[in-house]
Amino acid sequence: MTATIIDGKAHALALRTRVAAQVATFRAATGRAPGLAVVLVGEDPASAVYVRNKGKATRDAGMESFEHRLPADTTSDVLLALVARLNADPAVDGILVQLPLPAHIDAQAVLLAIDPDKDVDGFHPVNAGRLAIGAEGFVPCTPLGCLMLLQDVHPHLAGLEAVVVGRSNIVGKPMAQLLLQQSCTVTIVHSRTRDVFGHTRQADIVVAAVGIPQFIRGDWIKPGATVIDVGINRTDAGLVGDVDFAAAAQVAGAITPVPGGVGPMTIACLIRNTYVSACRRDGVEARL
Ligand SMILES: NC(=O)C1=CN([C@@H]2O[C@H](COP(=O)(O)OP(=O)(O)OC[C@H]3O[C@@H](n4cnc5c(N)ncnc54)[C@H](OP(=O)(O)O)[C@@H]3O)[C@@H](O)[C@H]2O)C=CC1
Ligand SMILES: Nc1nc(=O)c2c([nH]1)NC[C@@H]1CN(c3ccc(C(=O)N[C@@H](CCC(=O)O)C(=O)O)cc3)C=[N+]21
Ligand SMILES: [Mg+2]
């Protein structure tokens, strides 16, 4: 069997195009553009590339991008003061503080300072709680993008066995919550799991968010299963995912590539969340 390759780039472009059309309607109705503030502390080159790409995607959608670049030695107090200003700024609908932050800054404290109703990353504990109880809030962009790709392959997710590899607050845990909300039977495996492939081999859906290049082997996948590879690993061989793509594609029914899979959907969902935030803040219905 050779898997269908899930084209994340095409899905992302379609979503961004839909959002851009709705943003035009929003601007005509309200006389203002939705705004996204992105904060980058330090000079990590990979982070700088992401922030540039986010700014471009924001402007391409007809929204305003406010980019704040701070030096690596910025204090927590200075960063918290900037977040407070962005919280109070009516032109800002979404706030994203690029992670990772330098080690001397308490990242949890910074995330906690963001107004949950501008938290388009969905990282604030209030939004994590809203997701857990099924209340309206912001869902982290990467798992939301993964869910959209999965729903294209499986219009009915209910009853499917899903295994999420990884339990981080920004990918694994919210991914498991979303799949549970869709009535999948969800298993989360992590570094202390005794038999990771014993679990993945049973799964109809495997979401890999481990951070280890090509960690998931081809024979860990059940024939016909859907594989979503969240991993972004820069190696000497270039950018690779957390799945051994060549081997897994021989077994899976559908699989996302890296690059061109989940990554572009993350940015498209950030644009979507920012548009939705602007609609909520102005009391107009979000249409997507
Ligand atoms: N495409 C995109 O838009 C995005 C991609 N990423 C990428 O996704 C990947 C995961 O990111 P993130 O969740 O932040 O990573 P973290 O490092 O925060 O979490 C990794 C998880 O994998 C688990 N893990 C580590 N080793 C093993 C193992 N041997 N067996 C089973 N589980 C293991 C860890 O377990 P434990 O908790 O026990 O330590 C942890 O829960 C990275 O490659 C990252 O670059 C991240 C965000 C967005
Ligand atoms: N507050 C915060 N929110 C985030 O959402 C966030 C973050 N911090 N820190 C870093 C991670 C990582 N992340 C990615 C976004 C897009 C691609 C992406 O577009 N990837 C392209 C390739 C890009 C390349 O070539 O490097 C692809 O997979 O095709 C990847 C990774 C968002 N993150
Ligand atoms: Mg992490």
Which residue's alpha carbon is at the smallest distance from atom 19 of ligand 2? 263
CA of 251 to the centre of ligand 2 (A): 27
Specify whether 106 is catalytic: no
The CA-atom distances, in angstroms, between 232 and each of 13, 59, 167, 176, 269 are: 20, 25, 16, 19, 17
Task: List the Cα angle 179/182/185 in 5-degree steps.
Answer: 60
Which residue's alpha carbon is at the smallest distance from atom 25 of ligand 1? 191
Best probe residue, ligand 2, of 50, 234, 270, 272 (max atoms within 8 Å of C-beta): 50
| Peptide bond between residue 155 and the one before it cis (omega within 30 degrees of 0) | no
**Residue 6 confidence (pLDDT) above 90:** yes
Residue from 78, 73, 68 nearest 113 by CA: 78
Of the candidates 22, 118, 119, 121, the residue annotated as catalytic is 121
- 31-115 and 141-263 in the same fold: yes
Is 63 close to ligand 1, i.e. is its CB under 6 Å away?
no
Delimit the domains of the chain by residue range. Answer: 31-115, 141-263
Is 230 close to ligand 1, i.e. is its CB under 6 Å away?
yes
* Ligand 2 pocket, Cβ-based, cut-off 6 angstroms: 50, 96-99, 121, 141, 232, 239, 258-260, 263-264, 266-267
pLDDT tens sequence across 62-118: 999 999 999 999 999 999 999 999 999 999 999 999 999 999 999 999 999 999 999
- 228 is annotated as contributing to ligand binding: no
User: What integer is the mean pLDDT of 139-154?
Assistant: 98
Ligand 2 nearest-atom number relative to CA 264:
19
Q: pLDDT band at residue 146, thresholds of 50, 70 and 90?
A: very high
Q: What is residue 51's DSSP assignment?
A: H
Q: What is the pLDDT of residue 235?
A: 95
Q: What is the pLDDT of residue 13?
A: 98
Strands (DSSP E) found in 185-287: 185-189, 205-208, 226-229, 233-235, 238-240, 254-255
Query: Among residues of the chain, what percentage have pLDDT more than 90?
Result: 98
CA of 16 to the centre of ligand 3 (A): 26
141 alpha carbon, closest ligand: 2
Specify whether 118 is catalytic: no
**Residue 200 confidence (pLDDT) above 80:** yes
Please tell me the distance from the alpha carbon of residue 126 to that of residue 141, in angstroms, as a whole number.
16
| Cβ atoms of residues 265 and 146 within 8 Å | yes
Is 167 close to ligand 1, i.e. is its CB under 6 Å away?
yes
**CATH H superfamily, domain 31-115:** Leucine Dehydrogenase, chain A, domain 1 (3.40.50.10860)
**Residue 1 confidence (pLDDT) above 80:** no
- 168 is annotated as contributing to ligand binding: yes
Q: What is the pLDDT of residue 173?
A: 98
pTM > 0.90: yes
- 27 is annotated as contributing to ligand binding: no
Q: What is the pLDDT of residue 157?
A: 98
Query: What value of ipTM does the predicted structure carry?
Result: 0.98
**Mean pLDDT, the chain, integer:** 97
Q: Which residues contact 273 (CB under 8 A, 6 or more apart)?
A: 94, 120, 121, 122, 138, 139, 141, 144
Q: pLDDT band at residue 131, thresholds of 50, 70 and 90?
A: very high
The CA-atom distances, in angstroms, between 241 and each of 73, 95, 99, 109 are: 32, 28, 19, 30
Of the candidates 22, 98, 177, 214, the residue annotated as catalytic is 98
**CATH H superfamily, domain 141-263:** NAD(P)-binding Rossmann-like Domain (3.40.50.720)
**Residue 37 confidence (pLDDT) above 80:** yes
Q: What is the pLDDT of residue 77?
A: 97
| Cβ atoms of residues 282 and 68 within 8 Å | no
